[in-house]
C-alpha cells in the first residue's frame, strides 16, 4: 500500500493535507490523521495540539469523508489515551 503522507506525531495533519490525500489516494491507501486522544486532546500529554476547535474541524472533515463512503476509519491503541487515528481509502 502506498502512503502518500506520513505525519510527524508532534504535528497535527492539516485539513488541506487530508483533502489533498483524499484527492490523490487510491483504494487501500491509508493516512494517520491524528495521534493522541481525539475526543479530548487536552487529556493526552503527547497530543500534537490542545486547540479543540482545530481538532474538531479535522474530525468533522474526516467524518464527512466517512459519511460519503470515501474512507473507512480505524484506530490503533498505543497506550492510555494514546490512539492512532487512521483513514483508509475505500
Would you say 1 and 21 are in contact if contact means Cβ atoms under 8 Å apart?
Answer: no
Chain centroid to CA 2? 16
Going from N- to C-terminal start, the domains of the chain cover: 15-89
34 strand-pairing partners: 85
Per-residue pLDDT tens over the stretch 8-53: 555 678 999 999 999 999 999 999 999 888 888 777 666 566 678 8
Q: For the whole model, what pTM was predicted?
A: 0.81
Amino acid at each position: 500500500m502506498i502512503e502518500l503522507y506520513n505525519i510527524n506525531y508532534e504535528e497535527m495533519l492539516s485539513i488541506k493535507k487530508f483533502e489533498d490525500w483524499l484527492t490523490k489516494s487510491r483504494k487501500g491507501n491509508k493516512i494517520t490523521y491524528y495521534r493522541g486522544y481525539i475526543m479530548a486532546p487536552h487529556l493526552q500529554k503527547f497530543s500534537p495540539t490542545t486547540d479543540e476547535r482545530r481538532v474538531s474541524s479535522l474530525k468533522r472533515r474526516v467524518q464527512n469523508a466517512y459519511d460519503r463512503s470515501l474512507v473507512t476509519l480505524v484506530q490503533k491503541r498505543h497506550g492510555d489515551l494514546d490512539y492512532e487515528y487512521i483513514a483508509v481509502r475505500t
